[in-house]
Structure 1
Amino acid sequence: MSRLRPLLPELIANFLLPWLCYRWALPQWGEVGALIASTMPPLLWSGIELLRFRRVDALSLLVLAGILLSLLAMLLGGSPRVLLMRESLLSGLFGVAFLLSLLGGKPLVFYLARATVARESDEGLRRFEQRWQEAGFRRGIRLMTLLWGCGLTLETALRAVMVSSMPVERFLLLSPLVSYGLMGVMLLLTWRGRLLLRAQAAPA
């Protein structure tokens, strides 16, 4: 429980508060207005994180881009169900990008991991780039890229089915469980894969 406490504000901002805002705004502003109101807590949370850490992480970028897509969909006459797919469409685009990167020389996970290592030390960056010459390391990076590509694409497909078959209120309650559940599985498998790659690099 002590490890989960730091996640509670994020879960509240991205799960509970959007649903409460939707319930409050629905009688007054209609379905589209309520959906726009439900984006306000994630937007505020992203702003707070930006002020605290002076950076916008991947989740914040997804939220901000989702809100912009929502507003654009409204201007173009988008329906409430189209608005509900805003974050999932972004996830799907990222998933396809991961999968397409497997066709090139180095997949996306390699570049993301290299950027993380580069912030830690120049020596670590040098060792990381040298490890690309190892067949086991290349296979591990490609498997992680495949994992995230398939996972994000699957999330988009599941949310599309939910949008087309569920009432809006039920979707707002259940869709975060799908998203967080898949994200948790992918993070767990990524963590496991990272441990295996580190074990391969350790001297015998």
Structure 2
Amino acid sequence: MLVAARAVVTAKVGAAGAQEWEDRWHAEAGFRRHIRVLTAVWGAGFALDAVVRVVLAQTLPIDAVPLVTGLQWVVVLGVLFGFHVLYSGSRAGSAVERARPDRRPRPRARHRGALPAHGVAGR
């Protein structure tokens, strides 16, 4: 998954971002675990898809197989992408966002009615 994701990261944030992913792979056990879980889930999803397709091809009438397996493909991709987004979003920020070399800390939201940092409102 890291190899496949490298192209996406490079396209989104550039070569520096892809290099940061490489560096994180070597330095952060949590990052490696995250990529490995995603890889395992995608691999298991496609393996299960293949088994179900064989069973469907053996049991359904021949005319029904293309329609059913086409719909199955949409469902499998939807579930895998849904898991991917939920799992990646459950981490502290997006891995692609963290890989941006020009990232700046996001400003913290102030409570309503709070004074500005310099202490006087309206200046």
Same fold (TM over 0.5): yes
The number of equivalent residue pairs is: 96
| Paired amino acid for 1:128 | W
The equivalent position to 2:71 in structure 1, one of 160, 173, 177, is: 177
**Alpha-carbon separation, structure 1, partners of 2:85 and 2:94:** 14
**Alpha-carbon separation, structure 1, partners of 2:75 and 2:89:** 21
2:52 aligned with 1:158: yes
**Alpha-carbon separation, structure 1, partners of 2:29 and 2:51:** 33
Which is richer in helix?
1
Cross-structure match for 1:117: 9
Question: Does the 8 Å CA contact 1:137/1:197 hold for their aligned counterparts?
Answer: no
**Alpha-carbon separation, structure 2, partners of 1:177 and 1:111:** 28
The runs of 5 or more residues in structure 2 that have no matched partner are: 99-104, 106-123
Identity %: 32
Greater C-alpha Rg: 2
Question: Does the 8 Å CA contact 2:88/2:94 hold for their aligned counterparts?
Answer: no
| Mapping for residues 21-32 of structure 1, pairs under 5 Å | none
**Alpha-carbon separation, structure 2, partners of 1:177 and 1:119:** 30
**Alpha-carbon separation, structure 1, partners of 2:84 and 2:51:** 21
Cross-structure match for 1:126: 19
Superposition RMSD in Å: 2.2
Q: Which has the higher contact order (CA 8 A, sep 6+)?
A: 2
Cross-structure match for 2:118: none
Question: Does the 8 Å CA contact 2:9/2:18 hold for their aligned counterparts?
Answer: yes
TM-score (normalised: structure 1):
0.43
TM-fit CA distance, 1:117: 1.3
| Paired amino acid for 2:7 | A
TM-score (normalised: structure 2):
0.68
TM-fit CA distance, 1:198: 5.4
Q: Secondary structure at the match of 1:167?
A: coil
